[in-house]
Structure 1
Amino acid sequence: MASLTSARRIVIKIGSALLVDRTSGDLRRDWLRALAEDVMWLKSMGQDVILVSSGSIALGRGVLKLPPTDLALEQSQAAAAVGQIRLARAYEEALEPHGITTAQVLVTLEDSENRRRYLNTRATLEQLVSLGVVPIVNENDTVATDEIRFGDNDRLAAQVSVTIGADTLVLLSDVDGFYSDNPNVNPDAHRYETIDKITPEIEAMAGDAGSGLSKGGMKTKLMAAKMATAAGCAMVITEGSDLRPLKALEEGANATWFTAGLDPQAARKRWISAMKPRGSVQLDAGAVAALHKGKSLLPAGVKDVSGRFGRGDPVAILDAGGHQIGLGLTRYTVEEAKAIRGRRSAEIEEILGYPGRAALIHRDDMAV
């Protein structure tokens, strides 16, 4: 059976129904304080923790005294704007007593579909967790329309897991796992302990079990599982309404684990290596040797640049003889790369006229 304590980086998705009392519309502060103890417990073991939290619309709805029915887009955006500041403050107040710094990260679907914005999001999240911060990620409901929405935070949590290279995604839900049928209707429905492959038969079992203030159902959880496991991230669905749900999960609480065949880094390398390059960078011998030792590609080691590419595009990595040794996602456009090739990273701002990243291609965005 999989274990939380064996994970290096964990993404935890928290639904509105867990965080906000569906009758009063108030924040469940006792539950949030208990969750903060779980986060501290995980971080005390050296694990990175990222929270993907719903709740801004549910909190703002109560403050603005909006009806409990479906809201118009403008009402949802207004509720999100009011609720988001309260949600961020609640997490800060819950985690600060444990010495944990929090950060708010708001994203839209475009941030994952646009490769440049995807890499920027990845770099920001990486920097935050490297500094020991717990990012609180949510969809930017104040500006997102139906065309640019994830639509539910199960899939958002899976995308965050892929972006940050997490090896475990926890969906805290109002059900204790994946069932063969709706257990509230069919007493013979059984819960799966582990699912190694999401087959058409498994998908046919998923119903739309959305509840209360939450948007997602079991279908969206399966979609999240397919996305996460394909990227090397295991996923678990467990009931989260009790206090200390993560500690309970580790101690054997009911759950369904979706296993991943690859580790996140190997899955990401495979994804990058399958891309079609839009240009190339040719390196000197020293840079080639550095890459084989797992280093990032710095501008100083680049001899030549060709092609037509923008930030975030895949480029072929060539050795001094012109032979391809890998593929990577560049952090600079072709014009910028040509301007800074062969130069030290400290010179980038003077050359380009604005600050840039030290690496031309980061090692995490490279398959050698």
Structure 2
Amino acid sequence: MKMSREKFTSAHRWVVKIGSALLTADGKGLAREALSGWVEQMASWVLAGNELILVSSGAVAEGMSRMGWTTRPTTLHELQAAAAIGQMGLVRAYETCFQKHDLHTAQVLLTHDDLTNRRRYLNARSTLRTLLSLGVVPVVNENDTVANQELRFGDNDTLAALVANLVEADLLVLLTDQQGLYDCDPRTNPDARLINESRVDDPMLDQVAGGSSSLLGQGGMVTKVRAARLAARSGTATIIAPGGGEDVLTRIAAGEPVGTLLLPVQEAEAARKRWLAGHLQVRGRLVVDEGAVRVLRESGRSLLAVGVKQVIGEFSRGEMVVCVDEQGREIARGLVNYNSAESARIKGFSSGRIQEILGYVDEEELIHRDNLVLV
């Protein structure tokens, strides 16, 4: 564990995410003293010549506090209104705190559509990297006031992971109101033990991660494990750490064993593959046979129609679909070359039969390997 932690003392680019429960003192308004403490630690790290992007929750929770609401809204328009109200106080608080350290900040609001459109993805990447090169601290949040349910990230843990992919961060730090990830729920089991370190592909993580009990945020340990796996696609390690801990970010920077360290297991994927993996909205499912599963996993080849047993959902050419085995386990996802009706007609047939069946051939592959990423 010590060797793994020490490795991150030389990390140059961090993404730090702070959750709603921490930022708003469980709904009592912005925890300004705590926020000032985190900013002081982040500023010290940036002024030492490093780069940092802050992904901040708290807009909806701060809006609720300002409006005197005690229960998180359930309707989209009320959530968007709360976010619009709360964003004012949240951004002002960060700007004021960072200015005390002579650092500029920049507000960056994103929707899922910004990262699924390839051109906008590259624009967001360029903007963030430019801000970092200028010594500015980007403060990123989901653009709650305009995002509809189909375009939402769902939680800021996922957004933080996608931002880590965008800028190829060395480390993603998810600050939470827990000490880290435990082998069972510490709220109900006094014998629960903190997991100091694990690989992101360890199936044990799926068993021990529980849901969120917070009325303010949408995340839980499930979303944090999912975020760590997404961040790992760019070679980024993740630390789930207690935001309430004294000098938590400074201690992480020093290589101390704080929280839970989740390590990537393979080299960073190419930028296009990371972009594909970031597509959270899928339009359909392709059930593939054992042979196709083996070819996809072991050979990294394209998916051919002959390996598909069932087509589920309605989708158009170029949309994202997931490939699952016959037990329903996701194997891969990618951009499909034929719409759902065409895919249903050619499934189970060799590529040489596509012309005969459809009367034309757009591509020989149902999903080309360049547009496919393993899960």
Fold-level match, TM-score > 0.5? Answer: yes
Residue 267 of structure 1 corresponds to 269
Cα offset for 1:122? 0.4
Give the number of aligned pairs: 272
Task: Please give the per-residue CA displacement for 1:17-46, whole angstroms capped at 9, x wherever unaligned.
Answer: 11112252x211111111111112211321
Task: Please give the per-residue CA displacement for 1:197-232, whole angstroms capped at 9, x wherever unaligned.
Answer: 423332122110342422101110111011011220
Q: Report if the CA contact (8 A) 1:161-1:233 is conserved.
A: yes
Task: Please give the per-residue CA displacement for 1:123-156, whole angstroms capped at 9, x wherever unaligned.
Answer: 1101110100000000000011211100100010
Out of 215, 219, 222, the residue aligned to residue 219 of structure 1 is 222
Once residues 94 and 152 of structure 1 are traced to their aligned partners in structure 2, the CA distance between those partners, rounded to angstroms, is 25
Once residues 254 and 231 of structure 1 are traced to their aligned partners in structure 2, the CA distance between those partners, rounded to angstroms, is 23
Q: Report if the CA contact (8 A) 2:20-2:216 is conserved.
A: yes
Out of 144, 164, 167, the residue aligned to residue 141 of structure 1 is 144
1:59 and 2:59 are equivalent in the alignment? no
Matches within 5 A, 1:167-186: 167-186=170-189
Q: Do the aligned partners of residues 210 and 273 (structure 1) sit closer, same or farther apart at CA in structure 2, a change above 3 Å counting? A: closer
Q: Report if the CA contact (8 A) 1:49-1:134 is conserved.
A: yes
**Counterpart residue type for residue 151 of structure 1:** G
1:21 and 2:45 are equivalent in the alignment? no
Once residues 82 and 73 of structure 2 are traced to their aligned partners in structure 1, the CA distance between those partners, rounded to angstroms, is 12
Once residues 59 and 153 of structure 2 are traced to their aligned partners in structure 1, the CA distance between those partners, rounded to angstroms, is 15
Q: Do the aligned partners of residues 270 and 71 (structure 1) sit closer, same or farther apart at CA in structure 2, a change above 3 Å counting? A: closer
Task: Please give the per-residue CA displacement for 1:108-133, whole angstroms capped at 9, x wherever unaligned.
Answer: 11111111111110011011101000
**Identity fraction in percent:** 43
Q: Do the aligned partners of residues 273 and 82 (structure 1) sit closer, same or farther apart at CA in structure 2, a change above 3 Å counting? A: closer
Q: Report if the CA contact (8 A) 1:21-1:28 is conserved.
A: yes
Task: Please give the per-residue CA displacement for 1:161-198, whole angstroms capped at 9, x wherever unaligned.
Answer: 00111010000011111111101112222221111242
Root mean square deviation of aligned Cα: 2.2
Q: Do the aligned partners of residues 262 and 28 (structure 1) sit closer, same or farther apart at CA in structure 2, a change above 3 Å counting? A: same
Q: Do the aligned partners of residues 269 and 51 (structure 1) sit closer, same or farther apart at CA in structure 2, a change above 3 Å counting? A: closer
Q: Report if the CA contact (8 A) 1:80-1:141 is conserved.
A: yes
Task: Please give the per-residue CA displacement for 1:310-335, whole angstroms capped at 9, x wherever unaligned.
Answer: xxxxxxxxxxxxxxxxxxxxxxxxxx
The residue matched to 2:174 in structure 1 has which SS?
Answer: strand
**Counterpart residue type for residue 77 of structure 1:** Q
Give unmatched runs, 5+ long, in structure 2: 278-375
Once residues 39 and 270 of structure 1 are traced to their aligned partners in structure 2, the CA distance between those partners, rounded to angstroms, is 30
Once residues 253 and 58 of structure 1 are traced to their aligned partners in structure 2, the CA distance between those partners, rounded to angstroms, is 31
The residue matched to 1:267 in structure 2 has which SS?
Answer: coil
Once residues 135 and 162 of structure 1 are traced to their aligned partners in structure 2, the CA distance between those partners, rounded to angstroms, is 15
Residue 50 of structure 1 corresponds to 53
Q: Do the aligned partners of residues 210 and 163 (structure 1) sit closer, same or farther apart at CA in structure 2, a change above 3 Å counting? A: farther
Cα offset for 1:68? 2.0
Q: Report if the CA contact (8 A) 1:61-1:67 is conserved.
A: yes
1:118 and 2:121 are equivalent in the alignment? yes
Q: Report if the CA contact (8 A) 1:35-1:243 is conserved.
A: no
